[in-house]
Amino acid sequence: MTPEKAFKRLMNSIDVYDESLNLTDNEMLDLGMRRWANELSEGKETGKTLWLFPLSFYGYIPAGFPIVDLNFKREVFQPFVTDNDDRFGLLAFGVLGKTKSLEI
């Protein structure tokens, strides 16, 4: 799958308002996303995971899209302003949300 198609699939699965992702963990991994850490609030896990974008997504992220950095700081994406520095092919930001559970 091309980075553009993978990003579009991700965008169609995100509800940025309630921070839910309509994909399973495995589907997120297949898109090139990688798990960073679970969010904590007052020392307890919120059930939301920060998923980092692969570097190949940088050119497809729309201006104003809500992102979350490695420190769980929420901000909006600004092309050519938001840092595109990567480590191991991952950007230092992504999306936060609960993934869909697999039903067995």
pLDDT digits over 19-78, tens only?
A: 677 888 888 899 999 999 888 877 888 778 899 999 999 999 999 999 999 999 999 999
pLDDT digits over 8-28, tens only?
A: 888 888 776 666 778 888 888
DSSP assignment of the chain equals --HHHHHHHHHHHEETTTTEESS-HHHHHHTT-EEEEEEEETTEEEEEEEEEEEGGGGGGSPTT-EEEETT--EEE--TTTS---EETTEEEEEEEEBPPPPP-
